[in-house]
Amino acid sequence: MLPSPLLTHLGFFSIMKNAHVSLFLLLFLLAACDLGPTIPPSEKEDEKEEPVDAGSFVRGADLSYVNEMVDCGAVYQDLNGQTNDPYAIFEEAGADIVRVRLWHDATWTAYSDFEDVKQTIQAAQDKGMQVLLDFHYSDNWADPGKQDVPAAWLGVVDNLPALGDSLYNYTYQVLQHLDQAGLLPEMVQVGNEINIEILQDPNQSYGQINWNRNAALIQRGLAAVRKAEQDFGQEIAVMLHIAQPENALWWFEQATQNGITDYDWIGLSYYPIWSTYSLTNLSTAVATLKDTYKKRVMVVETAYPYTLEDTDSANNILGSDALVPGYPATQEGQYLFLKALEEALLEGGAEGLIYWEPAWVSTSCSTQWAQGSHWDNATLFDHSKQATTGMQYFSGE
């Protein structure tokens, strides 16, 4: 159980125990049918889609913490116990895609800013892996219970045209700078776990979603990516990301009713502990989303404990209550959970799964709340930083 200051995310933080989550302030906390060198755009609605199979299913990792962990002294070992660059470990294990978060101006950390993201994209693409860039549109964790406007935009938070311009220009300029560096991502998330209204004034109470405002802002973000795609001559698949499939069902219905349709992928966070959907009926929700909105579906955040041991002062977010019957908190249990989750996703027609954050190991560095990692028992590295059996998941075998 996290102490109260730690009730926040990973996609991030909010232990909303009745199905809204991500990892810390309110915790947490791809694939085409024929995936080529880049992620293709969504299928046209009038085209008959081929069934998804395990061979075309995209498997990836959110490595937003890796650069910081390396700077904090983490030394990673592969499945054979050999020390290696963490990006190489994931690529050699079979990972197809790397997800990375971007905060607007997180003055409290030196990471997840533009330079750090460039480093991650460079490292991933150098290894032949694709990239999903996750715009948080905040200076801190954005999640189902917290979508704070960046401090730089607080002065226009109640001026919808000006706020929309800030969102558009920022999104476009980030992609423009990445293009100039030869680092355009193959996919972009417009927001992170945007279950609630985006770009909120933290000094106000918002209540129910104001869809006139929310849709206008989201559409400005989508338009910026489409303009970048046009100007820079590279397809950029666009994703909207909601935490937990039960929330995606109502959210995308309301979004569609309010004119939000120009996106390619539905991204989901799926943590069984916070979801009303189990592995046995998850495929039903996935199929409903895919068939209703004619979009491609991917889980972009999930994780599972390989142990219940806690080796540092940073409380583990996923404890015994996160376990699914039949899948113990062991390395084998972690691997089998991922295989079972993929099977459920394939049955529903989803096309990918990304693990959150498999390399956030314990080090001497500290989070905003404690020293170490709140995720070290759910990474794909054991406490000696050797890859767990769960790392074998990426091979598709």
- To the query of whether residue 397 is one of the catalytic residues in this protein, the response is no
Which residue out of 91, 92, 301, 357 is catalytically annotated? 301
Residues near 13 by Cβ (< 8 Å), separated by ≥ 6?
A: 6, 7, 22, 23, 24, 25, 26, 27, 28, 29, 141, 143, 146
Could you give the CA distance from residue 135 to residue 155 in angstroms, rounded to a whole number? 20
Could you give the CA distance from residue 109 to residue 132 in angstroms, rounded to a whole number? 21
Contact 301, 358 (CB under 8 A): no
Contact 144, 20 (CB under 8 A): yes
Q: Is the dihedral of CA 394, 347, 239, 12 positive or negative?
A: negative
Contact 8, 374 (CB under 8 A): no
Which residue out of 186, 193, 229, 357 is catalytically annotated? 193
- To the query of whether residue 193 is one of the catalytic residues in this protein, the response is yes
Q: Which residues are catalytic?
A: 193, 301
